[in-house]
Structure 1
């Protein structure tokens, strides 16, 4: 398992997945960890100022089918710098050579830009951090960018959305390469009790529509999330945040861009998908989503069928 350490690397992009594989090794998995530079410098300064020392130059490794390379994100100023690519063209050729030798390549966040620079993503699918979708499309129109996914896998190429999604990807690799039990044990060891999958969106409804500073609307959103299994009313939400129903309705739409009813509906759909994927019965799921019957749940999910995972869609 090689972890590439480029200049201005984002710390969690590299240390998150690396720690997952370290824990797997502690559980007895046959894994070797190597930390590698993209040039001959054995010391690299991260984007946060922390230095990495005693690194190994990339050209000392020739990989094959059993090997994985993790490439983390770096500061965007480097990604947009043509000289950066020219100075490191031998590294990008090396990446292509390793992929041709059947090594599997994983990128985290803007690390997808580095993989794309090698040419191995041409004509394939990938993802990257949502903030850089436009830049990626402009720079690499020959690559199909899959948006709103935690990670995308195609032909030995794994790309993830960034930061903590690199940990989700590392756990997925453990599960595929070793076993579900090992992945579950490691997730528990690092106190990750909710593992996200390839089909999960980069931003769940619990994070969307929160990019505002209105405390009362945040309180209203928190109230709905905490009480999602209850059949509360608009009047009940308004009373809890000391507003009139009319004022709450107006201000919620103005602040978030979505109505209270639509927001609650999205919360229930997100909650239902999670519970169904865990194998719960439809009657239990409808109850936990604050719905009066399984028919209500079915009608709600049919309304949002386009976002349902395939295994859930088949149920309805």
Structure 2
């Protein structure tokens, strides 16, 4: 069997765990029968200094790579606080035609976007920077509610632990679910979470609205998603005009009332499916009205059907112990590291 070449494009300031996490998944897969050849390249071929100050040697310059099955671009705090080095975007543009799969971890999506490779694509990144990615690159369809997203051979993931989930997913794609499950068990971790699983529940990802009327509307929808929540109905309940309510949603939350309602209902439906309810029960209780409506929205937003989502979680739960409860509040800390530790593990 020919080795599957995985190249990591490393650079100064990158998050070390964005590389070492996925790399350990591929290395453990090798121990269990896979054949991944791991290669580390920097734009110049020089060693790089990671976010924790360690020095990492590069096997080669990016220009020396020719045939790559999987190219991985890690993230790093400088990617969202400083201009992205042209040498880094240039290396990605140069390597992309030679790679069968293009992968970014956390804020590595900013490198792909700056290189023009995410234009017209669905993508995700760390929750802390999803709005920035959407504003900076309006031609990218940013999905802040996903752990990882695949769109036409380009894979983007949220923070570092989501990168490990994505690596497990790639191993499963290459070698099947049994080997991926063995890798997860060997590394003493949960089987990978489906890419459509939220980084956080929808209410946790939203700042509390400043305006009392908008706060009342969002709290009502979050508390009772199955009720009638048209813009007109919500406006009457909170005592403002429909136009003013729409303006408040756009100004403070960057969305429309209908999209907010759909997002909350989607979150509620996923929680019901996680808890073992069937698709019809989940659709009705979440306010979608019919299983077909829920299926259509699931496929559009997550790329899988509700039944597929439920089956993935059922498989995962059968092999793992009881997991920790959903976090009660948003975390604080590094953008691509500790913050991910509180996302819901399945």
Q: Is 1:58 aligned with 2:62?
A: yes
Once the two structures are overlaid, the 10-residue window that deviates more, 266-275 or 111-120, is: 266-275
1:73 aligned partner: 75
Q: What is the total number of aligned residue pairs between the two structures?
A: 249
Are the structure 2 counterparts of residues 191 and 204 from structure 1 closer, same or farther at C-alpha, using a change threshold of 3 Å? farther
Between the aligned partners of 1:39 and 1:147, the Cα distance in structure 2 is 33
CA shift, 1:263, in A, is: 9.1
1:143 aligned partner: 140
1:180 aligns with one of 165, 177, 188: 177
CA shift, 1:202, in A, is: 1.4
Are the structure 2 counterparts of residues 13 and 211 from structure 1 closer, same or farther at C-alpha, using a change threshold of 3 Å? farther
Between the aligned partners of 2:269 and 2:181, the Cα distance in structure 1 is 26
CA shift, 1:167, in A, is: 0.5
CA shift, 1:153, in A, is: 0.8
Query: How do 1:89-128 residues align onto structure 2 when only pairs under 5 Å count?
Result: 91-128=88-125
CA shift, 1:54, in A, is: 5.0
CA shift, 1:6, in A, is: 1.3
The 3-state SS of whatever aligns with 2:195 is coil
Q: Is 1:47 aligned with 2:51?
A: yes
- Max radius of gyration: which structure? 1
Query: How do 1:1-316 residues align onto structure 2 when only pairs under 5 Å count?
Result: 1-42=6-47, 44-53=48-57, 55-64=59-68, 67-76=69-78, 78-82=79-83, 84-86=84-86, 88=87, 91-204=88-201, 208=204, 258=219, 262=223, 269-276=269-276, 282=278, 299-303=284-288, 311-312=305-306
The 3-state SS of whatever aligns with 1:100 is helix
Unaligned runs of 5+ in 2: 1-5, 209-214, 227-263, 310-346
CA shift, 1:102, in A, is: 4.5
Cα distance per residue 1:229-271 (max 9 Å; x no partner)? xxxxxxxxxxxxxxxxxxxxxxxx99xx858x93999897544
CA shift, 1:53, in A, is: 2.9
Q: Does structure 1 retain, via aligned residues, the 8 Å contact 2:268–2:286?
A: no
CA shift, 1:2, in A, is: 0.8
Between the aligned partners of 1:107 and 1:177, the Cα distance in structure 2 is 18
The 3-state SS of whatever aligns with 2:168 is helix
The normalised TM-score by structure 2 is 0.62
Between the aligned partners of 1:263 and 1:211, the Cα distance in structure 2 is 19
CA shift, 1:40, in A, is: 3.0
Are the structure 2 counterparts of residues 302 and 194 from structure 1 closer, same or farther at C-alpha, using a change threshold of 3 Å? farther
Between the aligned partners of 2:72 and 2:99, the Cα distance in structure 1 is 14
RMSD: 3.4
Unaligned runs of 5+ in 1: 213-252, 286-293
